[in-house]
Amino acid sequence: MHVPDGFLDLATSAGTAAVAVTGIALALRGARRELDDRLAPLAGVTAVFVFAGQMINFPVGAGTSGHLIGGALAALLVGPWTATLCLSVVLIVQALLFSDGGITALGTNITLMAIVAVWTAWWTFRLLSSVLPKRVSLVPWLAFVAGFVSVPAAAAVFTGLYAIGGQAPIALDTLLTVMVGWHAVIGLGEGVITALIVGSVLAVRPDLVRAARPYLDERVLEIRETSAA
Amino acid sequence: MSADVESPSAGGRVERRSRLLVVLGLVLVSLLLAVGVSSFASSSPDGLEYVAEQLGFEDTASSEHATQDSPLADYEASGVQDERISTGLAGLGGVVVTAALAFGLFWALRRRRS
């Protein structure tokens, strides 16, 4: 999903850079509310895991591969504002140190992965959890859907950006179809990884999964007396 | 809320220890992936690259990258011949740099307990 320099014209790249800077500025404020002494180390390790996960391209058939974006995972674990910062740190490190993703395209990549993927996943999870029963066992399934949806969502927004400032005359309906189609397949992998990690942390320390907090409030501690007779 | 669970009681110690377990577990998995598994990852083009090839706009990507002379460019540690070791070292470098930036940022941003 890392957009290289040259795909989009400079005006569009400047626009996404402005979106990215605004998003990061808002996230720097929002993350203060999400982070406390307990969650700061978890947020740090979430960024590290996203970096590592993004290195692992898995084959999705027809000579194509995909890798974790990690936006959904980060949003569900540490909250969406902090997740935007996690992904931004990873994308900046990748562009500056690994020449992965362009420099003028850095704003585009932050917009697509640190903002679109993160917030699509977060709102998908919130929406589903508001209509489904509050059962903790459902959380990994919702995490799967949130992860799955976040990837084609980012691909669709890329197509929109390409419609504005793409540097080649491509039929946009074809671009939309193949971008969303392939990224839906990749999204299945995203969903599985997101569900596995969220499920694992949930099993050890449910309170460390930000998205699961409303579920924990629902749990009532009961003291049951065993009858003697 | 956190004031209760983090109180220096036995329960608080268990809470802290299991939180450390989660953080260390994720660090270990990350190192395993970035250093050990990364060189086995698929080298096929990713979704966007593949689509760009199919629709014929991959050539619009600039052939030069401003940071292509970075010692870790393209996930290879420059000067290391062995491909697996080179990718593994690049992964290690990425984990260390990401960790330094992210832990520093989030530690600075966190709400202090009064």
Instruction: Say whether pLDDT at B75 is over 80.
Output: yes
How does the average pLDDT of chain A come out, rounded?
Answer: 93
Using a pLDDT cut of 90, give the percent of chain A over it: 84
Note the pLDDT tens digit of each residue in B10-36. 667 888 888 888 999 999 999 999 999
Confidence (pLDDT) at B5: 47
Q: Which of A122, A124, A96 is nearest to A109 (CA)?
A: A96
Evaluate whether B110 touches A40 at the Cβ level (below 8 Å): yes
Q: Band the pLDDT of A152: cuts 50, 70, 90.
A: very high
DSSP state, B35? I
Confidence (pLDDT) at A218: 66
Best mutation target among A1, A13, A38, A48 (most B Cβ atoms within 10 Å) is: A48
Using a pLDDT cut of 70, give the percent of chain A over it: 97
**Chain B nearest C-alpha distance from A123 (Å):** 23
How does the average pLDDT of chain B come out, rounded?
Answer: 86
DSSP state, B19? H
Q: Band the pLDDT of B6: cuts 50, 70, 90.
A: very low
Note the pLDDT tens digit of each residue in A49-74. 999 999 999 999 889 999 999 999 99
**Range 73-102 of B in CB contact (< 8 A) with A:** 73-75, 90-91, 93-95, 97-99, 101-102
Cβ neighbours of residue A134 under 8 Å, at least 6 residues apart? A214, A215, A218
Cα–Cα distances (Å) from B25 to A46, A147, A161, A180, in that order, read: 11, 21, 38, 34
Q: What is the largest CA-CA distance in chain A?
A: 82
B106 to A100: CB separation less than 8 angstroms, yes or no = no
Note the pLDDT tens digit of each residue in A79-116. 999 999 999 999 999 999 999 999 999 999 999 999 99
Cα–Cα distances (Å) from A172 to A7, A181, B10, in that order, read: 14, 14, 61
Q: Band the pLDDT of A182: cuts 50, 70, 90.
A: very high
Domain boundaries in chain A? 10-215
Instruction: Say whether pLDDT at B2 is over 70.
Output: no
What is the reported pTM? Answer: 0.91
Q: Which of A105, A47, A73 is nearest to A187 (CA)?
A: A73
How confident is the model over A114-143, as a mean pLDDT? 96
How confident is the model over B79-90, as a mean pLDDT? 91
Q: Which of A1, A103, A12, A97 is nearest to B64 (CA)?
A: A103
Q: Is the domain covering A10-215 a CATH 1.10.1760.20 domain?
A: yes
Evaluate whether B46 touches A66 at the Cβ level (below 8 Å): yes
- The minimal CB distance from A3 to the residues B6, B48, B101 is found for B48
Confidence (pLDDT) at B63: 83
* Chain A residues close to B98, C-beta within 8 Å: 47-48, 51, 89-90, 93
